[in-house]
A = this chain, B = another copy of it.
Amino acid sequence: MYSFFKWISRISSNQSQKNKRLLSAVKTIVGKKPINLEIYELATKHASVARTSKSGFRESNERLEYLGDAVLGAVIAEYLFKKYPFKDEGFLTEIRSRIVNRESLNDLGRKIGLDVLIEYDANRKNSLSHRSIHGDTLEALVGAVYLDRGFKFCKKFIIKKLIIPYYDLDQIIKNNPNNKSLIIEWAQKENKEVRFEVVEIKNKRHFKEFTVQVFVDDEPVGIGYGTSKKKAEQDAAQKSCEFLDL
């Protein structure tokens, strides 16, 4: 009997350790202590470790992700609307989609340290739904902040803690995903041979870093870096466009 109580108390002490860690992480990431810690707990719970509620509903962070995605979209829409008063809605829509695309949110989720908070089933680590786990959790966190502290605070959190420190808007605007096709079209017209080559892949702790070199008629032009082949290619394409004055 004594050891049973010890076991129970160890479990509850583990839980309270975990809660303390989450509380302090939320405070660091969001800038204020959670009012309702439970929402943040749910935000970090991947579908692979969903819990079944009393009503039989399987609870994970997917509903919060749906909510956070919508709130993030609205806040960034307004931010760009006000920052670029003389740009049309096509420009605003394009820049917003470059900010909130899956890859970019995944990067951001990792950068703010969500990887140590996410609860998931490690056995299913390589499954499809894990590819975007950091971005999904980031959206769920935004949903949690919105429910916990309201729109005004959540908006400030998104702009001051996510957009301003982690996004270089000038760079994003310059970094046209069509740069690669620009170069290919130019090369066809000029009758030159162009190729994008991955010249290095470094294994960092939580991600890979790709290096891509663009060659025109075997001459190196621009070199680019990124956490995926595609991103490194885009970076290399942009630098090559600058170099070639396209």
Residues of A within 8 A of B (CB): 53, 55, 57, 62-63, 65-67, 69-71, 73-74, 76-78, 81, 85-86, 88-89, 92-93, 146, 151-152, 155
Contact = CB atoms under 8 A, between A and B. Distances in A.
Majority secondary structure, A binding face: helix
A53 B74 CA distance: 26
Contacts of A146: 78
A65 to B, nearest CB: 7
B89 A63 contact: yes
Contact of A71 (B62, B67, B77, B86): B77
Nearest to A55: B86
A62 B88 contact: yes
B63 A67 contact: no
B65 A89 contact: yes
A207 to B, nearest CB: 26
A92 B93 CA distance: 23
A86 B62 CA distance: 12
A67 B81 contact: yes
B66 A93 contact: yes
A70 B78 contact: yes
B57 A66 contact: no
Contacts of A77: 66-67, 69-71
A93 B57 CA distance: 18
B74 A92 contact: no
Contacts of A67: 77-78, 81
